[in-house]
Amino acid sequence: MKTVIPVPTPVLMRISGTTHTFPVRRVYGVGRNYAAHAIEMGHDPDREAPFFFQKNPDNLLPPTAGFPYPPLSTDVHHEVELVIALKRGGTDIPAGEALDCVYGYAVGIDFTRRDLQAEAKAAGKPWAAAKAFEHSAPCSAIVPAETIGHPGDGNIWLAVNGERRQQGDLNQMIWKVPEIIAELSRLFVLAPGDVIMTGTPSGVGPVLRGDTVTCGIDGVATLAVTIV
């Protein structure tokens, strides 16, 4: 059967140390998943039910490419995050079985148009324009869980032009990886190729054109992105 327009190009993430790739189906993000970040954004750090937003698969930026500063914002913030890549999905996945769904992990940046997000929050409008813009989710190559296991702790950090801005530990996540997958699978049907950005530690702040952002998670990966 002939398609009436060209079939969109699949988005493929790289797998560390191989020539294999990971085809992306959907991209989810978790909001306010580190207490110190919730506090810096003016929210109560108590454990409220996790909430989710989405980015677009083609927002994922190859690890070697520059990040084009987006239009209609003068306050784009960096948010370094552990990224989960799923090899299996389902609905109502028990937390105790959730890690069986994980193919691997990466480090990524959830770039956010903070000014548009603040306007949306104030007006009770959705976050899409603040979160799901072009190139807004640069990620490292994926490291398979069969290589590194499932990191429950470890330093997560981000620097701008060599100056440390964000610093945390994966063990500070309010909702842990198995719980995130379990909760998300109650709301959506998860499937192989789904990618989840798991929230950011404190220290978020603006980037400017010309900045070089470096970030990493001990035992997982590092990533460097230049703002262009």
**Contacting residues toward Mn ion, per CB under 5 A:** 79, 110, 200
Radius of gyration of the chain (CA): 17
Q: Rounded to the nearest whole angstrom, what is the least distance from the CB of residue 43 to Mn ion in the complex?
A: 13
Residue 15 or 183 with smaller CB distance to Mn ion: 183
Tell me the torsion sign for CA atoms 202, 79, 212, 139. Answer: positive
The continuous run of DSSP H or E covering 119 comes out as: helix 114-123
Q: How far is CA 178 from CA 20, 42, 93, 215, 228, in A?
A: 26, 27, 9, 24, 36
Residue nearest to Mn ion (CB): 110
CB of 5 to Mn ion, least distance (A): 33
Name the minimum Å distance from CB 203 to Mn ion.
12
Instruction: Tell me how far, at minimum, the Cβ of 138 lies from Mn ion, in Å.
Output: 13
Alpha-carbon distance 210 to 160, whole Å? 10
Q: Which is nearer to Mn ion, 15 or 82 (CB)?
A: 82
Ranges of beta strands (E only) in 35-101 are 52-55, 60-61, 76-78, 80-86
- CB nearer to Mn ion: give 31 or 151: 31
Residue whose CB is less far from Mn ion, 79 or 183: 79
